[in-house]
Structure 1
């Protein structure tokens, strides 16, 4: 079959599989492979490794998992950016990478509370670098202190459930109670959350985000950066334990088996990614048109520290929407800082009266959808250095 056939098959049921439940239960995945979503093993006694087993489950760009950990004394660790896991084409200044660091720290902090520890965070203990480079300096120092009485963060029980749900949603809007609950979330200083669900503005966002994806896939280097993280089959998932595949967009069962076994081919896709790019635009249009509630997080500046703090806020937002039974999916293309995207980004900011000195750090869609398979995670041991 030709790749155009793949596009038609994916388009028919990308977001909500139309297969029967018996077919949907079929999978080529080896269920014996532990992709990290069970938390730490019962035999683990090192509190640092236990909290890391939760922290690695946090949201992060392209599921790159861009973290290095240096273990110091028995209750002390340093977090670094893994500079081999950057996204220079789509995230040229590592803004999203630093947001991913904040997500890691917030998940770690929540997990620590659930395990009876307080996590004290010191940001950039050896100095903060600029927002145009990534230096080999720790993003944060974490000290874990045992507490006989500690208030367990209520979001702890949702760490193993949280996901970025890429399915089509049901076009439902948030209720007034849900909007009030999200607006009441405590945010870092100089950080604000905007919710948007008015019909005209949703139509505008649907068109804008589809155009943003069209721009993103209009450059082969950017396309190849994404394709590098796309997992074409279960063998790649098991080998790399990062990235994302069609299963993580809700394609399962016999459809997944056919697409991965007969239609997907890494060598051909990397040689000519044009079909892959067209597919991405079609999917973006489809999922945006299924969504009637969007939200974004804005900061007054754009320093690495603010980016890390936004990551902590974003992580709490994602865990909170999980607790509320809502699906959440980041739509970050229009926020990228490469030159091609800047004119569209400026149009977006002007349309919503976002000031010139403000930075929209995260933009998501919210709604209702069936859960998808979790994206894989690497072993905690692969994060450790020194």
Structure 2
């Protein structure tokens, strides 16, 4: 969001409900929606719940948090997809949602290990769902008591972010840094070559424009926007439009779901223009490739993606997924093919994830539902 431009339009002397703006602005952090980050560190005293509290901090598309779990017996967890959390227009085959469930899985495994439990993972015990995810179990986790073993990456769970801001273009990612990062997971490759990153920058930005200028895919995003502290705390998923400035604009009617849903409107055009520096500042890309496109491969990509994100954090690098160009709907077909060509990937292999890497600013945690809300009541 182009916060500076919007704030300039709002003015600085607005008073909300008789409260001076400066005082009101200092109260707009959605602390309740961020509490799961603190609660994971405190724990619950139950190995499965403790591991789940870390797992739900995983990255996932549009922050849909598509996980639902069922505790079975004394040592088993069944993971399911919440079918109402899918993204039918931008992710019509639930591939990205499944990658998010893979991220959840990997955090659960490393968290359990740190607590002294070995977690055995059985993906799709009832078979792989096609063409979309369904009610079947995505993965079954069985915990066995053992010796605590902390993965070095586990120490960076609370620092991990998806940095959606403009990076510092003056700070380059070296080839040695890229090599260290991509060598950590078998699906990963990347580039810091300026000619290649320049081409990907343009394609990734064009893909973002397609998503925002296609009415049904734009509406899918705007329907998930949460404006201001009250909305974010009431529904801590989706796209949080938080912070004092954004909430102020929403309250005075300058920033609404309806005026952001008009693909031809000035707000969308201004927003897209504000995003361009995000791409032109990018000095490196990482991507993940699979030999085919099975559900098992997609799930494994998610497990590796969150490890790559944690590894980047460990190295002091920022990472931001920009996978609009890999979405599977007709308007994206041309760019989808061009992106595969740009990195030399051809069928039956396919790209599963694309992410910017570089040096971005520090950002706050993303809102999360508390752990008790992901437990199945069935």
- When normalised by structure 2's length, the TM-score is 0.89
Per-residue deviation, residues 327-361 of structure 1 (Å, max 9, x unmatched): 11000111000011011111222233211222111
Match of 2:162 in 1: 164
Match of 1:65 in 2: 65
Report if aligned partners of 1:28, 1:234 keep a CA contact under 8 Å in 2: yes
CA spacing shift, 1:11–1:350, aligned 2, 3 Å: farther
CA spacing shift, 1:325–1:260, aligned 2, 3 Å: farther
Check if 1:8 corresponds to 2:1: no
Match of 1:318 in 2: 309
Check if 1:261 corresponds to 2:256: no
Check if 1:217 corresponds to 2:212: yes
CA spacing shift, 1:77–1:342, aligned 2, 3 Å: same
Report if aligned partners of 1:61, 1:100 keep a CA contact under 8 Å in 2: yes
Report if aligned partners of 1:69, 1:79 keep a CA contact under 8 Å in 2: yes
Instruction: Give the superposed CA RMSD.
Output: 2.5
Matched residue of 2:202: which SS? helix
Distance 1:34 1:351 in 2: 39
Query: Residue 330 of structure 1: which of 316, 321, 338 is its match?
Result: 321
- Which deviates the most, 177-186 or 112-121? 177-186
Distance 2:30 2:366 in 1: 14
Gaps of 5+ in 2: 10-21
Per-residue deviation, residues 30-73 of structure 1 (Å, max 9, x unmatched): 54654311143746222111111100000000000001101101
Q: How many residues align?
A: 362
Matched residue of 1:223: which SS? helix
Per-residue deviation, residues 166-207 of structure 1 (Å, max 9, x unmatched): 1110023222432232132133xxxx3121111111211111
Match of 1:18 in 2: none
Match of 2:53 in 1: 53
Post-superposition offset of 1:223:
0.6
CA spacing shift, 1:30–1:140, aligned 2, 3 Å: closer
- After superposition, residues 82-101 of structure 1 pair within 5 angstroms as 82-101=82-101
Match of 1:17 in 2: none
Distance 1:304 1:53 in 2: 25
CA spacing shift, 1:93–1:279, aligned 2, 3 Å: farther
- When normalised by structure 1's length, the TM-score is 0.87
Post-superposition offset of 1:133:
1.8
CA spacing shift, 1:70–1:11, aligned 2, 3 Å: farther
Matched residue of 2:213: which SS? coil
Post-superposition offset of 1:11:
10
Report if aligned partners of 1:11, 1:283 keep a CA contact under 8 Å in 2: no
Post-superposition offset of 1:264:
1.6
Post-superposition offset of 1:273:
7.2
Per-residue deviation, residues 112-162 of structure 1 (Å, max 9, x unmatched): 1111111110111111223x2212110100011111x24211111111111
Distance 1:200 1:50 in 2: 46
Query: Residue 349 of structure 2: which of 341, 358, 362 is its match?
Result: 358
Report if aligned partners of 1:102, 1:312 keep a CA contact under 8 Å in 2: yes
Gaps of 5+ in 1: 13-21
Distance 1:201 1:271 in 2: 33
Match of 1:151 in 2: 149
Matched residue of 1:357: which SS? coil
